[in-house]
Amino acid sequence: MTRLLEGKRAFVTGAARGIGEATARRFCEEGAGVVLTDLDGGAVEGAAAALRAAGHDAHGEALDVTEATSVERVLEGAADRLGGLDIAVANAGVLSLGSIDELTLAELERTLRVNVVGTFATLKHAAPHLRAAGGGVLLCTASQAGVHGYPEMSAYCASKFALVGLVESLAQELAPDGIRVCAVAPGVTETEMYRQLVRDRARLWGVDEAQADERIRETVPIHRTATPEDVANAFVYLASSQAGYVSGVALVLDGGELSG
């Protein structure tokens, strides 16, 4: 059976663990060569080594997405290693929770720096490589919190709402180059960031972590969190020719939770 991404060349940020690692793994399973990047260089090389051990074309590289010159350099290296690029996934991100009274401007700036500027830099510096390949797909990880606002999540929501607008704008701008631009907008997903969310919610709600976890899960109609593989499968779809007429959208994976 033909694999969905056979022969494609992909670049994924925030790929040491969680959604990024699962996305890189699913891309490999569908036939792509992948360069995985992450701020944690040791962990991302470990993730790439595990994929190579399974017979996949995978390479790990340390990257701080807030350093635009590094993003450009690492993308150049990835394109040289793979012989070009067809897909880029800007997945690296951070979470900040706190009321407007608690949240500092430094925390807001860091959240925007990583989530928005880092994503923009990744898409900006990947686009020329996709043009050189005759087209491709630019993807990013938005969030359900980029579609609906939530209390004590103003910085994070602002950053993820920005990504939805970025996708809608770039999809129109880059369409003449044969480049589609989309986002996946997950709801609560079983990652380290979710465990941080549970800890922060427990603190803000004055309950223990088990109670916070239960309260969060109760908001999801299908009564479970997403897995990183659920999100990765959405990225596979958007990156593939099956989504060839899909661009400018944020594909929401929220288990049926339709409102904030």
- Beta bridge mates, 11: 35, 88
237 is annotated as an active-site residue: no
- The amino acid that residue 237 corresponds to is Y
- Beta bridge mates, 141: 184
The region, left, alpha or beta by phi > 0 then psi within -120 to 50, assigned to residue 206 is left
3-state secondary structure of 87: strand
Q: Which of 150, 156, 194, 237 is catalytic?
A: 156
| CA pair distance 68, 41, nearest whole angstrom | 17
Query: 131-169: b or e for each residue (b if 16 or more CB lie within 10 Å)?
Result: eebeebbbbbbbbbbbbbeeebbbbbbbbbbbbbebbbe
Active site residues: 156
